[in-house]
Structure 1
């Protein structure tokens, strides 16, 4: 019979731990049923009331890494996005790359004049003569959520630049919509307000089955912080060299050498990238 264990979440609250949810997350990372079952069995033997959720994650990640490094990379995606910090720029680059995969032309960090004041737009995306202004709210703490005040503020900024953009005869495109993207979650009020005013929201798991995680998996836009073959120091040195996505490492041999990686380690890193992104060169 499955244990009834209450664990401690990062925000200090306790909740009943779901072994089924753990198994599903392992399976969604690409782990086989056999590997997922063995990890769940191990966790069941070691878990106890009051155990921190982060400690459970680390234990499951460590066990998965021993059995399947590629699955471990995918399993670590949520944590890996937090590790892109402390600044929000790498996250903005990630969102720009995602929109590019969806057929948009994108620019990151654009200054636009509004009707009242000037605004810095995190990502400006264009497709089919329509332009979209995307604001990215990056958090390093998973406990931080975006409440209704955030879309209220973002929508007011959007309306200011939309007024100015669409009346400017030099602009041949139409500024259609504002977007708000976060790596955590939105409150229910934030979602309801955004629906009401026509603001598109994207978070870790919203919209359902089309959130950040689903899109990153679909387009294999994994950040370099997911890789198991790089140390934390190496990852952040590469981020400082503006390498954000694992795919970029395939053409970044010189930059990897510049931070001290040997030829053999560079090949290991590239092999992990190829397997993680399911790249086929045939």
Structure 2
């Protein structure tokens, strides 16, 4: 049966035609080889039916990948793992801070800045060279939600207020270069149009093309610990409560696994998974 004959239901509730190429692309992004991808696609295609949800397709592909190699499944579940940084949104803010830090920024969380009119609590304030960016994070727990134009409108007004008073606050003599809006979901077309027009930098799961949140994570190997197939939810929450949000952080601070009472054998498996995920080679 051909994939074009099937309609699937997205998380938003919208019906779309099943795309074999999109499934292949997402599996390829996980790092799976052609043989693995082909076998998974054959298995998933045999189980398709009218009205199947994208979640069901994802769960089946994820389970098959996990049987092959756990770190492939971890990469494949990246989008879901970002949602697991909720529900408060604070772990997501810390995650964005760490992504910026690995990109060469010095970043701080929850800075309070005086604007010309009122004070503002800023999610992430990041500095690189002689420039500063103001980053606001919008976390959504529902995959069907998008950031509409109201969000960049609001953030731009805050950015302009802070910028108007920046000479009085700026002790580092840096330029307040840009305001950013970062979300774990997507932006509406109006939001992107407004952001482009007013000079805001918008960063979402799939935007901008080639520099999206997904692209940055894959390129830098900055996977959140929530991607792990070997850690339990309780263990992930413990680590997040200790401000460990990246797999890379846990590789460097593996003593946290000892605090959780994890056996040496299981600890080795977890660290090996993270090494493969982040493409880190340990000295033998």
Q: TM-score, normalised by structure 2?
A: 0.95
Who is 1:149 aligned against? Answer: 150
Deviations 1:31-77 (A, max 9, x none): 11111111110111111001111111001100111012111111100
Distance in 1 of aligned mates of 2:179 and 2:204: 15
Of 169-178 and 206-215, the range deviating more from structure 2? 169-178
Distance in 2 of aligned mates of 1:37 and 1:140: 32
1:170/1:43 CA distance change after superposition, 3 Å: closer
Of 159-168 and 210-219, the range deviating more from structure 2? 159-168
Who is 1:229 aligned against? Answer: 230
- What SS does structure 2 have at the residue aligned with 1:142? coil
Distance in 2 of aligned mates of 1:51 and 1:158: 43
Matches within 5 A, 1:92-111: 92-111=93-112
Does the aligned pair in 1 maintain the 2:114–2:169 contact within 8 Å? no
Number of aligned pairs?
A: 282
Shift in Å, 1:259: 2.2
- What SS does structure 2 have at the residue aligned with 1:31? coil
Distance in 2 of aligned mates of 1:20 and 1:251: 37
Distance in 1 of aligned mates of 2:105 and 2:170: 23
Does the aligned pair in 2 maintain the 1:165–1:171 contact within 8 Å? no
Matches within 5 A, 1:94-243: 94-168=95-169, 170-243=171-244
Matches within 5 A, 1:13-24: 13-24=14-25
1:128/1:60 CA distance change after superposition, 3 Å: same
1:62/1:169 CA distance change after superposition, 3 Å: closer
Distance in 1 of aligned mates of 2:23 and 2:171: 54
Shift in Å, 1:243: 1.0
- What SS does structure 1 have at the residue aligned with 2:109? strand
Distance in 2 of aligned mates of 1:111 and 1:102: 23
1:169/1:120 CA distance change after superposition, 3 Å: closer
RMSD: 1.4
Does the aligned pair in 1 maintain the 2:94–2:243 contact within 8 Å? no
Distance in 1 of aligned mates of 2:232 and 2:252: 19
1:265/1:28 CA distance change after superposition, 3 Å: same
Q: TM-score, normalised by structure 1?
A: 0.96
Shift in Å, 1:166: 2.4
Structure 1: give runs of 5+ residues left out of the alignment.
Answer: none
